[in-house]
Structure 1
């Protein structure tokens, strides 16, 4: 009709690819006070940037590059393909930290126990905590950006090295408690390997493709170096006493779990047989994480048993002989 003007629409619904927005439009003014946005949280392999692509057998449930610490922390509260990796190391790391802080409730006390015993065992507690917390932190923040992921990966490797060094130092102390020469010799070898592995893990020069085989060889040599003190112990004390001193059955199980976990991780099993079926639960990296924690508990069992046996020996030596 003449003179009748069209009034503005009272409300309108706007939609975007990843956002549902409801706004009110009155007198040509938009009120955003009731705007609610929903953001896509998980992405598929084809939707993430190339730098995030590591395992093509994990097809979905990725947290895409966030460039935000807040968004990385937010990912702790919903399920994605790194959730299990984060929590299988974060929760045990807190347990190791608590055992360090309240070690008097964990470490049994004998008449011959000294502060050195607490220090040696606490070295392992701190090493395990360091390894697990750096690993969980890396898996939480690796989705931030390529730069952060590289830095986190370096710290992840450093944590592994710290765990190996602290584990070997602690068990060597009780294995050679009465032979300082052997203890200091093998501990020095352990420290040299540890420093060398840390350098090749952190220095950009040694992280290039050309140095990959050398890095791998150095880590293998580091692992095999654990055989040397065992052989020396067998020569010096005999097989049976060496097994008792370092609790070889537990130490051997520990080594097997580390190697088996690394094998699963390298073989990408079980996701290799069913791509996409293990995206959130049960893929190789998660299994590796679980086996690392079990291996650390095996070492703790061996360490506490060796500690007990040494103090039994010390008590027998101190007792008067008829």
Structure 2
């Protein structure tokens, strides 16, 4: 992120291959004429040559783009400068989450693919005993209860397990028309079981909270990538892109709460609405606060990091509540482990961003690769990807059990 700073120059020795003039934005001045303007290549400049709105990190000394034309800015995505990796780390992350969204939409909703039922009748045949006297309906009913208890152990736990009642209620009609052998009746019973189980197996729980998170992640990553690519064009565009970047961060943090809160408290509407409403209001307030011009001043760097970290730490309350409610559920511990890892990634990234480590230790040595903002970007993608896996655990849990 690039923000307003002091205009006092920082003494820096010129680097080979970089422009040393501080006029014309590092890109041949328009006074040279249009023909010369087209021939002059935009040059990278050093920190002390930057206008005030582009000064953010005095420990990154060179390889800056300054007030370039938009055409050259877009082409610079394929060149080397101090924002190249900032652009690509989140642009690659955007395409990663776009692929995950497509995968989730096409594959994950199927709790159990119907094709997996093609061998189910054979498995059921081994569970259903031979019925010597079809006229003895009570015996058949009792045998069927025992058999279905065995079948239930073969299947995942389903919400509202009423298959036994449904099946036994239809048996009298089946038997009243049964002039068949034992095998024929057993085959009909197997078909009943499969036909009743199949609709339940392909009825997934609501996916919208998970897609809200995926949408927030993609918005954050794309907004950040575009901000780092375009902000050097002008003060006006930089102001717009920075606000978009801050909004993306707030959106990612806020939408990250939606899957864990929704799927943990979907059966308790009061807490569901309380937690979702709170994080939504907090996210909107953070976005509105980020619109203030003072929010981008360098002296507020630590405040920005603390504000976003505070949003993330607010998730401790619903996570602890979930652990208390579902302390005997392995899914609760599993998802909490993912969430702690996600928090560690985000927290470490925010710490590096606020302290400007490692470039503050060796100014100028991490201009191209390895400075704090690039590490922050990588950790954000890692944290969001970790949270995606936590979301899959939530979906599998609620798909199989419901409330």
Task: State the TM-score, normalized to the length of structure 2.
Answer: 0.64
Higher strand share: 1
Shift of 1:230: 1.8
Partner of 1:82: 83
Alignment check: 8 A CA contact 2:341 2:383 kept? yes
Extract unaligned runs of 5+ from structure 1. 1-16, 21-31, 318-322
Alignment check: 8 A CA contact 2:42 2:72 kept? no
Alignment check: 8 A CA contact 1:134 1:159 kept? yes
Higher relative contact order (CA 8 A, sep 6+): 2
Within 1, Cα distance between the matches of 2:363 and 2:296?
29
One of 190, 207, 213 as aligned partner of 1:124: 213
Shift of 1:114: 4.7
Alignment check: 8 A CA contact 2:305 2:353 kept? no
Alignment map for 1:198-217 (pairs within 5 Å): 198-204=287-293
Distance change >3 Å, CA 82–CA 210, structure 1 → 2 = closer
SS of residue paired to 2:80? coil
Are 1:302 and 2:303 an aligned pair?
Answer: no
Within 1, Cα distance between the matches of 2:281 and 2:223?
22
Are 1:145 and 2:234 an aligned pair?
Answer: yes
Distance change >3 Å, CA 199–CA 246, structure 1 → 2 = farther
Deviations 1:191-230 (A, max 9, x none): 1111111111124587789999987765454222211112
Partner of 1:268: 356
CA RMSD of aligned residues (A): 3.2
Are 1:251 and 2:352 an aligned pair?
Answer: no
Alignment map for 1:1-322 (pairs within 5 Å): 37-66=39-68, 68-110=69-111, 111=200, 114=203, 117-204=206-293, 219-238=308-327, 240-241=328-329, 244=332, 247-314=335-402
Distance change >3 Å, CA 214–CA 254, structure 1 → 2 = closer
Task: State the TM-score, normalized to the length of structure 1.
Answer: 0.78
Within 2, Cα distance between the matches of 1:78 and 1:303?
37
Distance change >3 Å, CA 233–CA 63, structure 1 → 2 = same
SS of residue paired to 2:346? helix
Within 2, Cα distance between the matches of 1:147 and 1:45?
20
